[in-house]
């Protein structure tokens, strides 16, 4: 039974998706205090929120069973991503379900500003008929600066072009080619801000975008500029904006989002007639709410059911084809990580994972996460997953390097892991054979070829007559059947390795018995 806690108002259709799944219990509890939330989260496998619930470190820590946080919308700045990642909690969002709603709200704000619609409406309702007072400006022929040319910024830019505006686009990822195809002029942020009659922001709120429009940038703008924020409070410095409005250095502003929400009753922004305020309504359309609620509900279910999911925020994203290609390599990578964990004699401090040939394709970092999941999952706990494997490695003091080589010398694909512990260096390599699946092909510099599965016995020993016999007899005496065997050496009389597949798990007593055989320098039981 999975318990899903929903703490913000999401569309009924999303709740129905969750409730339609057997063995799922949905618990809708909105407007919780922090204490109530801490209590409710303790039993939840999944949490579904919008922007209101503050999912901070304490909330995540209290979610002992928590596997996934679903955000029915775009912005995840109300979720402590670092804490979620560290705890191995997946965060997913619904990135495109409310794009049009937010773009249309932005446009509604721009037109309302240009034509004084809210102020004229207030005036008229107050009994006035002031046709002269509310003369506006046209959008046609004006310049719009779009800061953040992602999904919403792009939709706003397209609509602005239809209205006959010139659009200056600023976004670190905006290419000249894409700008041209949209009819947008690519500009630096200062060029965009200084040249604009209207400015609209569409970035996430990050350290870089916090006060993107602050005192300094507000000193560059034309006094006729009108500024819109339907993205996130904090991208515009509210105090600096109030000063600019009071000094008539900007002609107006329309804000849907605020540095602190709900907006305080005595907030200075409320005093300006040329400021339009809406209570975070950008995504509040029937259509957008249905889209995001259904999208996030479906993905949360996929995560809980261990099925392929989309829109992870704290995991690299891959398309369906990439995921399908990767699937067999994930099995190999996890087995290699697990194998490495068995032969490591202490915590590794450095690890290089080399991907060769077909294994060196684009995997978004998944394979290395999987190697680490195998490695740490064995040594520490099952709580290590794709989400927290890298963070865990960093905290454990393991430096991880990836090397990608387009061609291998022997195999068309190979993943090899070399790692350093305080007791020495090891290397394990594996490949995927089309017919027989993952195979171990290299062990501490010796060529091997056997399936990487089942119960194995690995020894390093002196290459001298009788060693194989001794170990075989020892296992025979303990009634352990040998199913397969590989030996390797570099030179006669030097060090040799032996890898045996056996029919049952090897206990520590068995290992202690084999360790007594004269000439053995290392012996390990490996369970894959
Ligand atoms: N008011 C509301 O109800 C809604 C607000 N939003 C907010 O709108 C914002 C944008 O959403 P989407 O367009 O869907 O996201 P998106 O991820 O598609 O686009 C964001 C864009 O910002 C750009 N960007 C990031 N850092 C930047 C920087 N320092 N300078 C310039 N550009 C930068 C990115 O390159 C990206 O192109 C988000 O903050 C989201 O939370 C979204 C939906 C509704
Ligand atoms: O999707 C977003 O980023 C939004 O800001 C929408 O927020 P909401 O779901 O309406 O609280």
Which domains occur in the chain, in start order? 2-96+288-315 (3.40.50.720), 99-277 (3.40.50.720), 318-453 (3.30.1330.90), 454-528 (3.30.70.260)
- In whole angstroms, give the CA distance from residue 18 to residue 24: 7
Beta carbons of 255 and 229 less than 8 angstroms apart:
yes
Collapse the DSSP code of 519 into the 3-class scheme (helix H, G, I; strand E, B; otherwise coil) and give the result: coil
Under a CB-based contact definition with an 8 Å cutoff, are residues 209 and 233 in contact? no
Residue 79 is given by DSSP the state: B
204 alpha carbon, closest ligand: 1
Q: How confident is the model at residue 427 (pLDDT cuts 50, 70, 90)?
A: very high
Mean pLDDT value across residues 193-214? 97
pLDDT of the residue at 344: 85
pLDDT tier at 37, thresholds 50, 70, 90: very high
For residue 313, the ligand closest to its alpha carbon is 1
Q: What is the DSSP letter of 274?
A: T
Confirm or reject: Cβ of 283 under 6 Å from ligand 2: yes
| pLDDT at res. 320 | 79
pLDDT tens, residue by residue, 167-198: 999 999 999 999 999 999 999 999 999 999 99
Q: Please, which pLDDT band fits residue 489 given cuts at 50, 70 and 90? A: confident
pLDDT at residue 314, as a whole number: 95
- Separation of 51 CA from ligand 2 center, angstroms? 5
Ligand 1 pocket list (CB less than 6 A): 73-75, 95, 98-99, 102, 147-153, 170-173, 202-205, 208-209, 230-232, 256-257, 280, 282-283
Mutate to test the pocket of ligand 2, among 10, 70, 98 (most ligand atoms within 8 A of CB): 98
Q: What is the pLDDT of residues 315-327, one digit of tens each?
A: 988 887 888 888 8
Strand (E) or helix (H) holding 49? strand 46-49
pLDDT at 250: 98
Please give the pLDDT value at position 171.
97
pLDDT tens digits, 242-285: 999 999 999 999 999 999 999 999 999 999 999 999 999 999 99
Q: What are the pLDDT digits (tens) for 394-404?
A: 998 999 999 99
pLDDT recorded at residue 406? 87
Average pLDDT over residues 403-408: 88
Helix intervals (H) in 42-98: 57-62, 81-86
Instruction: Assess whether pLDDT exceeds 80 at residue 8.
Output: yes
Q: Does any ligand 2 atom lie closer than 6 A to the CB of residue 50?
A: yes
For 450, residues 6+ apart whose C-beta sits below 8 A from its C-beta are 439, 440, 484, 486, 499, 501
Which of 155, 209, 282 to mutate to test ligand 2, by most ligand atoms within 8 A of the CB atom?
Answer: 282
Q: Which atom of ligand 1 is nearest to the CA of 284?
A: 3
Mind telling me the catalytic residues?
A: 232, 261, 280
**What is the Cα–Cα distance from 486 to 498, expressed in whole angstroms?**
6
What pLDDT score does 291 carry? 98
Q: Distance between CA 260 and CA 435 in Å, rounded? A: 59
Choose the residue to mutate in 71, 75, 311 for probing ligand 2, maximizing ligand atoms within 8 Å of C-beta. 75
- State residue 312's pLDDT score: 94
What the block records as the tokens of 10 is 């999401």
Taking residue 164's Cβ as centre, other Cβ atoms within 10 Å add up to: 11
Element (H, E) at 169: strand 166-170
CB within 8 Å of 68: residues ≥ 6 apart: 45, 46, 47, 89, 90, 91, 92, 300, 303, 304
CA 428: distance to chain centroid?
A: 29
Q: Do residues 157 and 180 make contact, with C-beta atoms less than 8 angstroms apart?
A: no
Phi first, then psi, for residue 37 (nearest 5°) are: -65, -45
Task: Provide the pLDDT for residue 407.
Answer: 82
Which residues are CB-contacts of 249 (< 8 A; sequence separation ≥ 6)?
218, 219, 221, 223
Question: Among 402, 378, 376, which residue's Cα sits nearest to residue 387?
Answer: 376
Residue among 329, 341, 350 nearest 373 (CA): 341
Read off the tokens for 353. 């994972």
Pairing label, strands 455-462, 482-489: unpaired
Report residue 305's pLDDT band, with 50, 70 and 90 as the boundaries: very high
Annotate 318-349 with three-state secondary structure: CCHHHHHHHHHHHHHHHHHHHHHHHHCCCCCC
Residue predicted with more confidence, 421 or 353 = 353
Residue among 281, 380, 368, 318 at smallest CA distance from 50: 281
Close Cβ partners of 238 (under 8 Å, ≥ 6 residues apart): 258, 259, 267, 268, 269
Residue 502 β-bridge partners: 455, 482
Q: What is the C-alpha separation between 187 and 449, in angstroms, rounded? A: 57
Rounded to two decimals, the pTM is 0.88
Three-class DSSP category at 482:
strand
Residue entry with tokens 């999975």: 2
Q: Which of 93-97, 375-379, 475-479 has the lowest mean pLDDT?
A: 375-379
In what helix (H) or strand (E) does residue 475 lie, and over which residues does it extend?
Answer: helix 467-477
Task: Determine the distance separating the centroid of ligand 1 and the alpha carbon of 222, expressed in angstroms.
Answer: 25
State the ipTM, two decimals: 0.99
Whether 364 has a pLDDT exceeding 90, the answer reads no
Q: How far is the CA of 75 from the centre of ligand 2 (A)?
A: 6
Span 484-513, average pLDDT: 89
> Which residue(s) pair with 58 in the sheet?
none
Q: In whole angstroms, what is the distance from residue 229 CA to residue 252 CA?
A: 12
Q: Give the pLDDT confidence score for residue 166 in this predicted structure.
A: 98
Q: How far is CA 467 from CA 87, 343, 443, 456, 460, in A?
A: 47, 20, 19, 17, 11
Picking from 319, 329, 384, the residue whose alpha carbon sits closest to that of residue 353 is 329
Least confident among 223-237, 378-392, 439-453, 459-473: 378-392
Burial of 327 per CB tally in 10 Å (0-12, 13-18, 19+): exposed
* Cα gap 247→223, rounded to integer Å: 10
Report d(CA 375, CA 379) in Å as an integer: 7
Rounded distance between C-alpha atoms, residue 416 and residue 447, angstroms: 12
pLDDT of 517 higher than 80: yes
């Amino acid at each position: 039974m999975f318990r899903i806690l929903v703490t913000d108002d999401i569309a009924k259709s999303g709740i129905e998706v969750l409730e339609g799944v057997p063995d799922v219990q949905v618990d809708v509890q909105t407007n919780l205090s922090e204490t109530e939330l801490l209590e409710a989260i303790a039993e939840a496998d999944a949490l579904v929120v919008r922007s209101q619930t503050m999912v901070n470190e304490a909330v995540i820590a209290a979610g002992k069973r928590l596997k996934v946080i679903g955000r029915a919308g775009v912005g995840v700045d109300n979720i402590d991503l670092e804490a979620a990642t560290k705890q191995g909690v997946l965060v997913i969002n619904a990135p495109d379900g409310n794009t049009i709603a937010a773009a249309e709200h932005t446009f509604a704000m721009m037109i309302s500003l240009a034509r004084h619609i809210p102020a004229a409406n207030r005036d008229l309702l107050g009994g006035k008929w002031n046709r002269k007072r509310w003369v506006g400006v046209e959008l046609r022929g004006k310049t719009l600066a779009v800061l953040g040319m992602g999904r919403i910024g792009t939709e706003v830019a397209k609509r602005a072009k239809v209205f006959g505006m010139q659009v200056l686009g600023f976004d670190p990822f905006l290419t000249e080619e894409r700008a041209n195809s949209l009819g947008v002029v690519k500009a630096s942020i200062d060029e965009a801000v200084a040249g604009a009659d209207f400015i609209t922001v569409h970035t996430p709120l990050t350290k870089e975008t916090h006060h993107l429009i602050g005192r300094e940038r507000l000193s560059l703008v034309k006094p006729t500029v009108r500024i819109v924020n339907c993205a996130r409070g904090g991208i515009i410095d509210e105090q600096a904006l109030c000063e600019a409005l009071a000094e008539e250095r900007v002609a107006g502003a329309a804000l849907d989002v605020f540095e602190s929400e709900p907006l305080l009753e005595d907030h200075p922004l409320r005093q300006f007639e040329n400021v339009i305020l809406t209570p975070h309504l950008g995504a509040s359309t029937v259509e957008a709410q249905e889209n995001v609620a259904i999208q996030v509900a479906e993905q949360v279910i996929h995560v809980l059911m261990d099925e392929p999911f989309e829109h992870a925020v704290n995991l690299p994203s891959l398309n369906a084809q990439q995921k399908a290609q990767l699937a067999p390599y994930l099995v190999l990578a996890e087995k290699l990580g697990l194998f490495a964990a068995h032969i490591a004699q202490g915590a590794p401090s450095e690890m290089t994972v080399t991907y060769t040939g077909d294994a060196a394709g684009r995997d978004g970092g998944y394979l290395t996460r999987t190697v680490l999941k195998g490695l740490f999952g064995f040594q520490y706990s099952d709580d290590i997953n794709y989400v927290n494997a890298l963070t865990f490695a960093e905290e454990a003091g393991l430096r991880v390097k990836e090397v990608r080589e387009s061609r291998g010398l022997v195999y068309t694909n190979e993943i090899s892991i070399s790692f350093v512990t305080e007791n020495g260096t090891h290397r394990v390599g594996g490949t995927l054979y089309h017919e027989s699946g993952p195979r171990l092909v290299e062990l501490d510099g010796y060529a091997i070829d056997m399936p990487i599965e089942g119960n194995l016995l690995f020894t390093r020993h002196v290459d001298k007559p009788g060693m194989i016999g001794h170990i075989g007899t020892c296992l025979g005496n303990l009634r352990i059947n040998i199913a397969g065997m590989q030996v390797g050496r570099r030179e006669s009389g030097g060090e040799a390795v032996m890898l045996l597949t056996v029919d049952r798990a090897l206990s520590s007593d068995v290992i202690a018995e084999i360790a007594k055989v004269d000439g053995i320098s290392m012996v390990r039981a490996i369970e894959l």
